[in-house]
């Protein structure tokens, strides 16, 4: 399998685990410490910094629709994935917010692992 396909498969496993609130599934595709690039600050985490269940409860988030992403670059040891946009919606389909993100992956002995991410969240107008 080509590196691009392997990275895409790993990213899709991450997305599925995130939406399913499967922290063990997320941990399986993350290489810690994980760098999270926030608004003007970079933090390193030894555990995943986002609790999907809390996010769902706090925002009424049901799922993410219309995700458009691409593996934009690969080397033998590193890859970049861009989530151009995704719509977080309530159970009735109404839009809560749109998310965009950048992810960096590294090739490890256990396969591709996420080690850095930067996300932008824009509330629905």
pLDDT at 99: 95
Q: Global pTM?
A: 0.91
- Residue 111: what pLDDT? 96
Q: 12 — phi, psi (to 5°)? A: -65, -35
Residue 33 Cα distances to 13, 28, 68, 99, 105, angstroms: 19, 13, 27, 23, 12
Rounded CA separation 41/105 (Å): 20
Peptide bond into 33 cis (omega under 30): yes
pLDDT, tens digit only, all 125 positions of the chain: 799 999 999 999 999 999 899 999 999 999 999 999 988 999 999 999 989 999 899 999 998 999 999 999 999 999 999 999 999 999 999 999 999 999 999 999 999 999 999 999 999 98
In this prediction, residue 125 carries a pLDDT of: 82
Sign of the four-CA dihedral 23, 109, 33, 64: negative
């Amino acid at each position: 399998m080509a590196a691009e396909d392997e990275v895409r498969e790993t990213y899709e496993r991450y997305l599925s685990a995130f939406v399913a609130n499967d922290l063990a599934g997320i941990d399986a595709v993350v290489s810690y410490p994980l760098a999270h690039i926030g608004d003007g600050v970079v933090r390193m985490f030894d555990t995943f910094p986002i609790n999907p269940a809390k996010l769902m409860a706090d925002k009424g988030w049901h799922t993410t629709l219309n995700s458009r992403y691409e593996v934009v670059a690969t080397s033998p040891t590193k890859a970049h994935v861009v989530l151009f946009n995704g719509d977080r919606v309530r159970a009735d389909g109404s839009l809560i917010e749109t998310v965009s993100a950048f992810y960096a992956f590294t090739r490890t002995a256990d396969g591709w692992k996420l080690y850095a991410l930067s996300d932008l969240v824009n509330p629905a107008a």
